[in-house]
Amino acid sequence: MAEEQKVKKEALEIIGQFQNLPRLVVFDLDYTLWPFYCEFGDEDENPYLYPQAKGILLALKEKEIDLAIASRSPTPEIAKPYLDKLGIRSMFVAEEIFSSWTHKTEHFQRIHRKTGIPFSSMLFFDDENRNIESVSKMGATSIYVSNGVNLNALRQGLSEFSRKSESSTSGSKRK
């Protein structure tokens, strides 16, 4: 628990360095928030998150940034109870957990319809490049994570989001 608070404090400091913040941060589940494929588990298991994931989620919530899930898991009946067991399910304004061949574009369309938040105001973390590429084309800032969501990925995501939103709003001001 102390580690979670330490990560949250550090994440709040990172978030505080940026003026342009996303309105919604979207997370994949498998190998992004947790280090396994949930379809190979069962609902009796005790799932666990990557070490820095919960502190980051708590910091984003404290800053009133909405959170959502976009997962191509074929087993939402396992993923959702895992989120409950981890005590984080209520943090998310949208949960799109279903098998799909669309590389998450369908997940993002649904999240957009539910929240009304434009893709350009979204930040997305995933461990698969094909999802990063397809969601980036929709206008969301998308960050590849190879070892789960951590403070470095958060910093990179916020930095890239901020850079993209500055260049789209300032046009000719910057070189």
Catalytic machinery residues: 28, 30
> What are residue 34's phi and psi, to 5 degrees?
-130, 155
Task: Give the residue among 52, 55, 67, 54 at the shortest CA–CA distance from 21.
Answer: 67
Q: What is the arrangement of strands in the sheet containing 122-126, beginning at the earlier edge strand?
A: 92-97, 66-71, 24-27, 122-126, 141-144
Tokens (6 digits) for 71: 């997962």
Gap between the Cα atoms of 175 and 166, Å rounded = 12
3-class DSSP state for residue 1? Answer: coil
Which residue shows structure tokens 């190979």?
A: 40
User: Under a CB-based contact definition with an 8 Å cutoff, are residues 115 and 25 in contact?
Assistant: no
